[in-house]
A and B are shown apart, each in its own frame.
Chain A
Amino acid sequence: QSALTQPPSASGSPGQSVTISCTGTSSDVGGYNFVSWYQQHPGKAPKRMIYEVSKRPSGVPDRFSGSKSGNTASLTVSGLQAEDEADYYCSSYAGSNTWVFGGGTKLTVL
Protein backbone atom coordinates (compact mmCIF):
# COMPACT_ATOMS: atom_id res chain seq x y z
CA GLN A 1 0.00 0.00 0.00
CA SER A 2 2.47 2.66 -1.17
CA ALA A 3 1.25 6.21 -1.54
CA LEU A 4 0.48 7.55 -4.98
CA THR A 5 3.01 10.07 -6.33
CA GLN A 6 1.99 13.70 -6.74
CA PRO A 7 4.17 16.78 -7.28
CA PRO A 8 4.48 18.66 -3.98
CA SER A 9 3.57 21.97 -5.57
CA ALA A 10 1.96 23.58 -8.60
CA SER A 11 1.14 27.14 -9.49
CA GLY A 12 -0.52 29.36 -12.04
CA SER A 13 -1.81 32.87 -12.54
CA PRO A 14 -5.50 33.74 -12.42
CA GLY A 15 -7.22 32.62 -15.60
CA GLN A 16 -4.54 30.11 -16.50
CA SER A 17 -4.79 26.31 -16.42
CA VAL A 18 -2.78 23.97 -14.26
CA THR A 19 -2.57 20.17 -14.29
CA ILE A 20 -1.65 17.99 -11.31
CA SER A 21 -0.49 14.43 -11.92
CA CYS A 22 -1.01 11.36 -9.75
CA THR A 23 1.05 8.26 -10.52
CA GLY A 24 0.33 4.82 -9.13
CA THR A 25 0.63 1.25 -10.32
CA SER A 26 -1.42 -1.33 -12.16
CA SER A 27 -2.74 -2.41 -8.74
CA ASP A 28 -4.45 0.88 -8.09
CA VAL A 29 -4.69 3.77 -10.58
CA GLY A 30 -4.08 1.59 -13.62
CA GLY A 31 -6.31 -1.23 -12.46
CA TYR A 32 -9.53 0.61 -11.68
CA ASN A 33 -11.46 3.61 -12.98
CA PHE A 34 -11.98 4.71 -9.37
CA VAL A 35 -9.63 7.66 -9.04
CA SER A 36 -10.97 10.60 -7.06
CA TRP A 37 -9.60 14.04 -6.23
CA TYR A 38 -10.07 16.07 -3.05
CA GLN A 39 -9.56 19.76 -2.32
CA GLN A 40 -8.54 20.80 1.17
CA HIS A 41 -8.32 24.35 2.44
CA PRO A 42 -6.30 25.02 5.61
CA GLY A 43 -8.04 23.79 8.72
CA LYS A 44 -10.92 22.29 6.77
CA ALA A 45 -12.04 18.79 5.91
CA PRO A 46 -11.31 17.55 2.38
CA LYS A 47 -13.96 18.03 -0.29
CA ARG A 48 -14.57 15.63 -3.15
CA MET A 49 -14.00 17.38 -6.50
CA ILE A 50 -13.76 14.47 -8.98
CA TYR A 51 -14.77 10.80 -8.73
CA GLU A 52 -14.51 7.82 -11.07
CA VAL A 53 -11.59 9.54 -12.87
CA SER A 54 -13.57 12.31 -14.55
CA LYS A 55 -17.02 12.74 -12.98
CA ARG A 56 -17.86 15.99 -11.23
CA PRO A 57 -20.25 16.05 -8.26
CA SER A 58 -23.08 18.52 -8.32
CA GLY A 59 -21.87 21.96 -7.29
CA VAL A 60 -18.26 21.54 -8.38
CA PRO A 61 -17.38 24.07 -11.11
CA ASP A 62 -16.76 22.67 -14.58
CA ARG A 63 -13.33 24.32 -14.43
CA PHE A 64 -12.26 21.13 -12.67
CA SER A 65 -11.71 18.08 -14.86
CA GLY A 66 -10.04 14.71 -14.49
CA SER A 67 -8.49 12.15 -16.78
CA LYS A 68 -6.37 9.01 -16.69
CA SER A 69 -3.84 7.31 -18.91
CA GLY A 70 -2.31 4.05 -17.82
CA ASN A 71 -1.06 4.33 -14.26
CA THR A 72 -1.26 8.13 -14.15
CA ALA A 73 -4.31 10.24 -13.40
CA SER A 74 -4.52 14.00 -13.78
CA LEU A 75 -6.57 16.86 -12.40
CA THR A 76 -6.81 20.01 -14.51
CA VAL A 77 -8.04 23.30 -13.14
CA SER A 78 -8.90 25.77 -15.90
CA GLY A 79 -9.52 29.49 -15.49
CA LEU A 80 -7.71 29.56 -12.14
CA GLN A 81 -9.34 31.61 -9.43
CA ALA A 82 -7.99 32.77 -6.09
CA GLU A 83 -10.29 30.40 -4.21
CA ASP A 84 -8.73 27.41 -5.99
CA GLU A 85 -5.59 27.87 -3.89
CA ALA A 86 -5.58 24.77 -1.67
CA ASP A 87 -4.04 21.34 -1.22
CA TYR A 88 -5.20 18.67 -3.65
CA TYR A 89 -5.08 14.94 -3.02
CA CYS A 90 -5.72 12.07 -5.39
CA SER A 91 -7.02 8.75 -4.18
CA SER A 92 -7.44 5.42 -5.89
CA TYR A 93 -9.33 2.26 -5.07
CA ALA A 94 -6.81 -0.57 -4.71
CA GLY A 95 -9.09 -3.60 -4.51
CA SER A 96 -10.68 -5.54 -1.62
CA ASN A 97 -12.13 -2.39 -0.05
CA THR A 98 -8.78 -0.67 0.32
CA TRP A 99 -7.78 2.77 -0.90
CA VAL A 100 -4.56 4.76 -1.22
CA PHE A 101 -3.93 8.51 -1.26
CA GLY A 102 -1.34 10.60 -2.99
CA GLY A 103 1.05 12.74 -0.98
CA GLY A 104 -0.80 15.93 -1.90
CA THR A 105 -0.07 18.96 -4.08
CA LYS A 106 -0.14 22.53 -2.84
CA LEU A 107 -1.69 24.69 -5.56
CA THR A 108 -0.70 28.35 -5.44
CA VAL A 109 -2.54 31.01 -7.44
CA LEU A 110 0.06 33.65 -8.21
Chain B
Amino acid sequence: QVQLVQSGAEVKKPGASVKVSCKASGYTFTSYGITWVRQAPGQGLEWMGWISAYSGNTNYAQKLQGRVTMTTDTSTSTAYMELRSLRSDDTAVYYCARVDWHAFDIWGQGTMVTVSS
Protein backbone atom coordinates (compact mmCIF):
# COMPACT_ATOMS: atom_id res chain seq x y z
CA GLN B 1 0.00 0.00 0.00
CA VAL B 2 0.98 3.62 -0.45
CA GLN B 3 2.80 4.85 2.62
CA LEU B 4 5.40 7.23 3.96
CA VAL B 5 7.55 6.01 6.84
CA GLN B 6 9.56 8.55 8.79
CA SER B 7 12.67 8.22 10.92
CA GLY B 8 12.55 8.08 14.70
CA ALA B 9 12.43 10.71 17.39
CA GLU B 10 15.40 13.04 17.91
CA VAL B 11 16.70 15.09 20.83
CA LYS B 12 19.03 17.93 19.91
CA LYS B 13 20.77 20.78 21.70
CA PRO B 14 20.16 24.41 20.71
CA GLY B 15 22.31 25.37 17.74
CA ALA B 16 22.54 21.82 16.40
CA SER B 17 21.02 20.42 13.19
CA VAL B 18 18.52 17.64 12.61
CA LYS B 19 17.82 15.60 9.48
CA VAL B 20 14.52 13.72 9.23
CA SER B 21 13.90 11.08 6.57
CA CYS B 22 10.68 10.03 4.88
CA LYS B 23 10.72 6.78 2.89
CA ALA B 24 8.00 6.32 0.29
CA SER B 25 6.62 3.02 -0.95
CA GLY B 26 3.72 1.76 -3.02
CA TYR B 27 3.86 4.42 -5.73
CA THR B 28 6.21 6.00 -8.28
CA PHE B 29 8.22 8.36 -6.11
CA THR B 30 9.12 10.82 -8.85
CA SER B 31 5.50 11.34 -9.91
CA TYR B 32 4.61 13.41 -6.83
CA GLY B 33 6.00 16.20 -4.71
CA ILE B 34 6.66 15.96 -1.00
CA THR B 35 5.78 18.62 1.51
CA TRP B 36 6.91 19.02 5.12
CA VAL B 37 4.61 20.25 7.88
CA ARG B 38 5.37 20.72 11.56
CA GLN B 39 3.24 20.95 14.67
CA ALA B 40 4.54 22.39 17.94
CA PRO B 41 3.08 20.89 21.12
CA GLY B 42 -0.56 21.94 21.47
CA GLN B 43 -0.35 24.12 18.37
CA GLY B 44 -1.63 24.01 14.79
CA LEU B 45 -0.08 22.82 11.57
CA GLU B 46 2.65 24.91 9.95
CA TRP B 47 3.65 24.46 6.32
CA MET B 48 7.44 24.31 5.99
CA GLY B 49 8.15 23.73 2.32
CA TRP B 50 7.84 21.58 -0.79
CA ILE B 51 10.16 19.58 -2.98
CA SER B 52 9.56 18.06 -6.37
CA ALA B 53 10.72 14.46 -6.26
CA TYR B 54 11.09 14.63 -10.05
CA SER B 55 13.29 17.71 -10.44
CA GLY B 56 14.50 18.45 -6.92
CA ASN B 57 13.06 21.97 -7.13
CA THR B 58 12.16 23.40 -3.75
CA ASN B 59 10.17 26.18 -2.17
CA TYR B 60 10.39 27.02 1.52
CA ALA B 61 8.29 29.01 3.96
CA GLN B 62 9.73 32.49 4.34
CA LYS B 63 10.31 32.18 8.08
CA LEU B 64 12.53 29.11 7.56
CA GLN B 65 14.52 30.38 4.58
CA GLY B 66 18.22 29.91 5.21
CA ARG B 67 17.75 27.28 7.95
CA VAL B 68 15.95 24.48 6.11
CA THR B 69 17.00 22.26 3.24
CA MET B 70 14.82 19.62 1.60
CA THR B 71 16.31 16.93 -0.61
CA THR B 72 15.35 13.62 -2.17
CA ASP B 73 17.19 10.41 -3.05
CA THR B 74 15.32 8.85 -5.95
CA SER B 75 17.40 5.65 -5.74
CA THR B 76 15.82 4.89 -2.36
CA SER B 77 12.54 6.83 -2.75
CA THR B 78 13.41 8.86 0.32
CA ALA B 79 12.88 12.53 1.10
CA TYR B 80 14.90 14.41 3.69
CA MET B 81 14.36 17.59 5.67
CA GLU B 82 17.32 19.20 7.43
CA LEU B 83 16.81 22.05 9.88
CA ARG B 84 19.85 23.92 11.18
CA SER B 85 20.58 26.30 14.07
CA LEU B 86 17.87 24.66 16.13
CA ARG B 87 16.04 26.71 18.77
CA SER B 88 13.66 25.66 21.51
CA ASP B 89 10.69 26.79 19.44
CA ASP B 90 11.63 24.25 16.77
CA THR B 91 10.44 21.55 19.17
CA ALA B 92 7.61 19.91 17.24
CA VAL B 93 6.31 16.86 15.46
CA TYR B 94 7.53 16.98 11.87
CA TYR B 95 5.40 15.36 9.15
CA CYS B 96 6.11 14.61 5.53
CA ALA B 97 3.16 14.30 3.16
CA ARG B 98 2.68 13.45 -0.51
CA VAL B 99 1.39 16.29 -2.66
CA ASP B 100 -1.38 15.19 -4.98
CA TRP B 101 -2.64 18.06 -7.09
CA HIS B 102 -2.33 20.78 -4.45
CA ALA B 103 -3.51 18.69 -1.50
CA PHE B 104 -1.67 16.41 0.87
CA ASP B 105 -3.12 12.94 0.46
CA ILE B 106 -0.71 10.59 2.24
CA TRP B 107 1.02 11.51 5.50
CA GLY B 108 3.93 10.02 7.37
CA GLN B 109 3.51 9.01 10.99
CA GLY B 110 5.41 12.04 12.25
CA THR B 111 8.81 12.50 13.89
CA MET B 112 9.15 14.20 17.26
CA VAL B 113 12.11 16.59 17.41
CA THR B 114 12.93 17.96 20.85
CA VAL B 115 15.36 20.86 21.22
CA SER B 116 16.64 21.15 24.75
CA SER B 117 19.86 21.99 26.53
Chain A residues at the B interface, C-beta cutoff of 8 Å: 1, 3, 32, 34, 36, 38, 40, 45-48, 51-52, 57, 87, 89, 91, 93, 96-104
Give 9 nearest A-B pairs by CB, closest first. Answer: A51-B103, A34-B102, A36-B103, A104-B44, A45-B107, A97-B59, A93-B102, A101-B45, A99-B47
> In the bound complex, do residue A48 and residue B103 qualify as a contact, i.e. CB atoms below 8 Å apart?
yes
From residue B47, how far is it (CB to closest CB) to chain A in Å?
A: 5
Instruction: Please name 13 pairs of A and B residues whose Cβ atoms are closer than 8 Å in the assembled complex, sorted by A.
Output: A34-B102, A36-B102, A46-B45, A46-B104, A48-B104, A52-B101, A89-B44, A91-B45, A97-B33, A98-B50, A99-B35, A99-B102, A101-B47
Closest residue to B63 on the A side, CB-wise?
A1
Contact of A102 among B44, B59, B61, B110 (CB under 8 A): B44
> In the bound complex, do residue B45 and residue A89 qualify as a contact, i.e. CB atoms below 8 Å apart?
yes
Contacts beyond the supplied A46-B107, A57-B105: 5 A-B pairs with Cβ under 8 Å: A45-B109, A51-B101, A97-B33, A100-B47, A104-B44
Q: Does B95 make an interface contact (CB < 8 A)?
A: yes
| Interface of B (DSSP majority class) | strand
Chain B residues at the A interface, C-beta cutoff of 8 Å: 33, 35, 37, 44-47, 50, 52, 57, 59, 61-63, 95, 97, 100-105, 107-110
Q: Across the A-B interface, how many residue pairs have beta carbons closer than 8 Å?
A: 71
Q: B residues within 8 A CB of A40?
A: 45
Q: A residues within 8 A CB of B100?
A: 51
Closest residue to A6 on the B side, CB-wise?
B44
From residue B104, how far is it (CB to closest CB) to chain A in Å?
A: 6
* C-alpha spacing A62/B111, complex, angstroms: 32
Q: B residues within 8 A CB of A34?
A: 101-103
Q: Which of B33, B103, B104 has the most CB of A within 10 A?
A: B103
Q: A residues within 8 A CB of B104?
A: 36, 38, 46, 48, 91
* C-alpha spacing A34/B63, complex, angstroms: 23
> In the bound complex, do residue B47 and residue A98 qualify as a contact, i.e. CB atoms below 8 Å apart?
yes
Q: A residues within 8 A CB of B101?
A: 34, 51-52
Q: A residues within 8 A CB of B57?
A: 97
Using known A-B contacts A45-B95, A99-B35, determine if residue A51 contacts B47 with beta carbons closer than 8 Å: no
